[in-house]
Structure 1
C-alpha cells in the first residue's frame, strides 16, 4: 500500500485591497485633519471633528495614529512638499537663468502649491504657531531652510542689479511671502482668475515695487517666454484620490 500524502496547505494570499483601503483611510484622515486645521486652527479642532469629517469614530483614529499630535505631525510633514516643488521648478531652468527669473518661477511654484487642491500648506501656516512647543521645535529647521533658499536668490538678484539696492531684502521677502501665504484666506475658486494669473499678478506687484529698470526688463522678457500653466480656476475641496478614500471605512 502506498504511503498516504497529506494535501499541501494552501498559503494564504495577501489582501492588497484591505491594505490599500487602510492606506486610503489614513490619507483621508490626514486630508480632513489638514482641512480642519486650515479652517479652524489647532486649538479649535478636536479628534471628534477629524473623525466625523473622515466618516469614522474618534476611537478608530488610534488604529492609524498614536495621538492627536501624531496626526498633526504627519499633516505638517505633508506641507513640506512646498520646498521640494520650488526646488524642482528651479532645477528645470537652464544653469544660466537670471536670478530674477528663478524668483518668478519660484513664486509660481509657491502659489500653485498653496492654492492647489490639498490643504496641507494652508494648515501648516495656520497652526505652526499654535501647536505645542515640543512639536513646533521638530519643524523649526523648515522655515529656516526655505527662507535661506529664497534669501540667497534674492541676494543674487540684487547683486546682479535686478533688485533695488536700497531695499532691505529681509523685510521685502517677509512682506512678499506673508502676502502669498495669506492667499487661501480670500482666494475664490469660483472667481474669474486662474491660479497662474494670481501668480502673475503677484509677480507684477513684486516687479513694480522691488525691481530696478534692468530687473523689470529681464522679468518681463522671462514672463513672455515662460510656458503657460494649466488654466486652473482654483482649489477643489477634494481630489480624485481622496474621493476614493471616502469609500474606505
Structure 2
C-alpha cells in the first residue's frame, strides 16, 4: 500500500561510508520503499528519482537487495543510537520521564531522521530471506534494550507489568510503529504530543494501583 507520509529529513544521520551519489541513491531508495513499497519499486525508478540514467545505478550498487540491506541497517542504527543517547540523558530522571523520553526517541527516529527508520519498519517483513537473516541479530539487540528498560522500571517498583516483559515490549513497539500508517507529523498534533499519549497509555496500564 502506498503511503503519503511527509517524513522530515532535516536531522539525518548519514551513512558512515559511500560517495555522494551512493548516499543520494540510498536516500531516494528509502523514500520509495517507504511510500511505494519495496516490491513495487524498481532500480530504474530509484535512479530517476536521484537524477541518474537507469544504467548508472549499477555503477554504485549491484542490486536492489544490496540497497535494501544498507537501508535496513541504517534504519535500525538510527534507533539504537537514539536509544543510547536518551539513556545517557535520562539516567537521573524519574520512571515516567524515562519511559516518555524513550518513546519520544523511537518516534523521532521514525519521523524526524529521514525515511530510513520508517522504511526499515515497513519493509523488513518483505525483505529477501538472506537479508532478513543478517539484520535479525541487530533488531534483536534493539529489542533487548527495550526489554532491559522495562525490566529496570519493573524491578524498581515503578511499574507492575500485567504480562511478560516481552509481551509488554511487543505491545509498546507495535503501538509506536503503527503510527507510520496514520500519523502526520505536519498535522495538528506534534511528535511530542504523540509520544506523551503513547507513554501515558502504557503508564496508566502498568502503574501500581
What is the TM-score of this pair, normalised by structure 2? 0.84
1:39-66 CA distance string (max 9 Å, x none): 2222111111211221212211112212
Structure 1 residue 98: deviation in Å? 4.3
Q: How far apart, in 2, do the equivalents of 1:85 and 1:117 lie?
A: 10
Give the deviation of 1:205 after TM superposition. Answer: 1.2
For structure 2, list consecutive stretches of 5 or more residues without a partner in the other structure.
1-17
Q: Is the 8 A contact 1:99 1:154 kept in 2?
A: no
The alpha carbon displacement at 1:23 in A equals 3.0
More displaced 10-residue stretch of structure 1: 82-91 or 23-32 = 23-32
Say whether the 8 Å CA contact 1:99–1:156 is kept in structure 2. no
Q: Paired residue for 1:102?
A: 98
Q: Tell me if 1:82 matches 2:79.
A: yes
Which of 28, 34, 52 is the equivalent residue of 2:30? Answer: 34
- Residue 109 (structure 1) shift: 0.7
Question: SS of the residue aligned with 1:139?
Answer: helix
In our comparison, the structure showing a higher alpha carbon Rg is 1
* Long gaps (5+) in structure 1: 1-21, 214-249
Is 1:130 the counterpart of 2:126 in the alignment?
yes
Contact 2:103 2:195 in 1 (8 A): yes
Is the counterpart of residue 72 in structure 1 residue 68 in structure 2?
Answer: yes
Question: How far does residue 117 in structure 1 lie from its aligned partner after superposition?
Answer: 4.7
Q: Which of these residues, 48, 54, 60, is aligned with residue 58 of structure 1?
A: 54
Which whole-Å deviations, capped at 9, do the CAs of 1:43-101 have from their partners, x for residues lacking one? 1111112112212122111122122222112111211211111111111233x444543
What TM-score, normalized to structure 1?
0.71
How many equivalent residue pairs?
191
Question: Which secondary structure does the structure 1 equivalent of 2:114 belong to?
Answer: coil
